[in-house]
Amino acid sequence: MSEQGPFRLGVLGSGLGSNFDSIAQGCAAGAIPAEIALVLSDAEDSGILRSAKALGVPTSFIAPGKYRTKLDETAEAEYIAALQEAEVDLVVLAGFMRILKGEFLKTYEGRVVNIHPSLLPSFPGLEAWKQALDHGVKVTGCTVHFVDQGVDMGAIIAQETVRVRDDDTAESLLARIHDAEHRIYPAAIAMIAHGEIEQRGRRTFHKVDP
């Protein structure tokens, strides 16, 4: 945590930014005891950058470099430097479409969280809601988890279920998963900012003072 002052979030995203919006609302309402110190994106024209700018949150577009699914070495160093400069306590991935690895995860070990649109460990990877629908499951949902070296593999912090309806399309199912995401991501970040989440191996525990 930074020496003084509130818990500081660094949010990384590539897309629309609806999860960022819900987190920003949570911070503004006092439900999350934190402030958003910085928003970084690998997509210059993304909704998340527009939303953050509109709220007066510091933003930066950092080009990802030569790879399609991860940051190259130069970009990774720039992301780390920007987050360190902003004295970020927790890195929040909100639709960031690059896999984070080596140096980044070493620097922010245990301090990176992600939200995924399925009940992990089912359906990791891209378009998880569509994978779930195509597989024929009756219940899916979303998962907040710590980020480790595996893709969508880290210890689970929170999950919410979403029932699959007979008349669901990929779009209608995704819309309800998004609603659930906007509930559990701010709630999970609030628990972390309060220092209430303890990790032991693959399990996390919500410790609240009696």
Q: Which residues bind ligand GRF (CB under 6 A)?
A: 13, 15-20, 48, 94-95, 115-117, 178, 181
Q: Of the candidates 148, 157, 146, which has an alpha carbon nearest to the alpha carbon of residue 188?
A: 157
Q: With respect to ligand GRF, which residue has the nearer C-beta, 43 or 80?
A: 43
Q: How many C-beta atoms lie closer than 10 Å to residue 85's C-beta?
A: 12
Q: To the nearest whole angstrom, how small is the minimum distance from the Cβ of residue 135 to ligand GRF?
A: 18
Assess whether 194 carries a catalytic annotation: no
Phi/psi zone of residue 61: left (φ > 0), alpha (ψ -120 to 50 degrees), beta?
beta
Q: With respect to ligand GRF, which residue has the nearer C-beta, 17 or 64?
A: 17
Q: With respect to ligand GRF, which residue has the nearer C-beta, 88 or 144?
A: 144
Q: To the nearest whole angstrom, how small is the minimum distance from the Cβ of residue 2 to ligand GRF?
A: 25
Q: To the nearest whole angstrom, how small is the minimum distance from the Cβ of residue 15 to ligand GRF?
A: 4
Q: In what order do the strands lie in the sheet with 139-146?
A: 59-61, 34-41, 7-13, 90-93, 112-116, 139-146, 156-163
Q: Active-site residue numbers?
A: 116
